[in-house]
């Protein structure tokens, strides 16, 4: 029996679905299409750590850190908090931290710098929570599947070495249903749109959660003033999904 204390995600409804939170030291995948709240969920997870006095690390690979900071203000999340450490690894950012002066085309070539830079942060600040948002960017950048797999496995190992609890986000693309991320992570949380009477509703589903029972039903969720709220006791009342 796992007696480790669970890690609250910052979304009480989601915690209820996974029986009180994430298992510490593990890596979880949050999948979803655009606009469904992957980044919000990742930031909410990190800010919960900040609230508990933990040092947390956010690695953004698509939107600039500044843009995420601006967006998250509307939920009351202050990414300028000294406990919140950001790595802006966006290839098109002017202020790329890891890949300064490297253009988009050169992004793949600079990946070898990625893991050491992440490790530096993990070590320096004793990071307990990490969010990588989104991993899709790495997948798209690395042409060679084997290289990507190696990179992903190295990342997982690195996080395990530092016992960080990690949320990795991923866009659900049409090119693949299950990627290596689905298999190598301890849990998979899907954010999806559901068509109900011509309206799009948002639903969240846990499809995998190693080491613990979990709620397998789709639950509705909504964006509120304080981030994502999951209605863990309610149902979507819709049979088909998109």
Partner 1 sequence: MEIPLSQLGNLLGPISEGDVVLVETEGEVTADFLLRTVEENRGKAQLLFVVPKGAPEVRNPLKSQKDVQLLILGKDIDTDRLYELLRTIRNLSEGALIVTIRLDSLFLKRDEKSVYLFLEDLASLVQEKNLILLMTIDKRNVSSRQMAMFENLSTHVVDTMERITDSRVVHLLRVKKSPKGSTGFYTMNVKDGKIILQKPGP
Q: Which residues bind partner 1 (CB under 8 A)?
A: 196-197, 199, 201, 220, 231, 233-239
Q: Which is nearer to partner 1, 68 or 232 (CB)?
A: 232
Rounded Cα distance between 31 and 55, Å, is 24
State in angstroms the smallest separation of the CB of 220 from partner 1.
5
Q: Which is nearer to partner 1, 237 or 242 (CB)?
A: 237
The C-alpha angle with vertex 36 and arms to 220 and 211, in degrees rounded to 5, equals 65
How many helices (H) and strands (E) would you count in the chain?
A: 7, 9
Q: Which is nearer to partner 1, 13 or 134 (CB)?
A: 13
Residue 60: Cβ within 10 Å count:
27
State in angstroms the smallest separation of the CB of 42 from partner 1.
24
State in angstroms the smallest separation of the CB of 35 from partner 1.
18
The CA-based dihedral angle spanning residues 183, 184, 186, 191, taken in that order and rounded to the nearest 10 degrees: -60
State in angstroms the smallest separation of the CB of 237 from partner 1.
4
Nearest CA-CA partner of 43 in 131, 172, 170, 153? 131
Q: Which is nearer to partner 1, 171 or 229 (CB)?
A: 229
């Amino acid at each position: 029996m796992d007696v480790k204390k669970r890690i609250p995600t910052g979304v009480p409804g989601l915690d209820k679905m996974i029986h009180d939170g994430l298992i510490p030291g593990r890596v979880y995948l949050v999948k979803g299409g655009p606009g469904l709240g992957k980044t919000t969920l990742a930031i909410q997870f990190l800010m919960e750590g900040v609230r508990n006095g933990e040092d947390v690390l956010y690695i953004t690979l698509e939107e600039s850190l500044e843009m995420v900071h601006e967006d998250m203000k509307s939920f009351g999340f202050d990414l300028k908090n000294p406990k919140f450490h950001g790595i802006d690894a966006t290839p098109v950012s002017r202020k790329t931290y890891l890949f300064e002066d490297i253009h988009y085309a050169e992004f793949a070539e600079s990946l070898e710098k990625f893991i050491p830079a992440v490790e530096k942060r993990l070590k320096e600040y004793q990071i307990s929570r990490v969010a990588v948002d989104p991993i899709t960017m790495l997948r798209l950048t690395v042409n060679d599947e084997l290289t990507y797999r190696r990179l992903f496995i190295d990342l997982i190992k690195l996080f395990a070495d530092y016992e960080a609890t990690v949320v990795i986000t991923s866009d659900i693309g049409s090119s693949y249903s299950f990627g290596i991320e689905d298999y190598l992570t301890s849990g998979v949380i899907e954010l999806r749109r559901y068509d109900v009477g011509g309206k799009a509703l948002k639903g969240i589903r846990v499809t995998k959660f190693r080491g613990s029972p979990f709620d397998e039903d789709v639950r509705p969720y909504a964006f509120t003033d304080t981030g994502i709220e999951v209605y863990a006791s309610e149902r979507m009342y819709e049979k088909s999904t998109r």
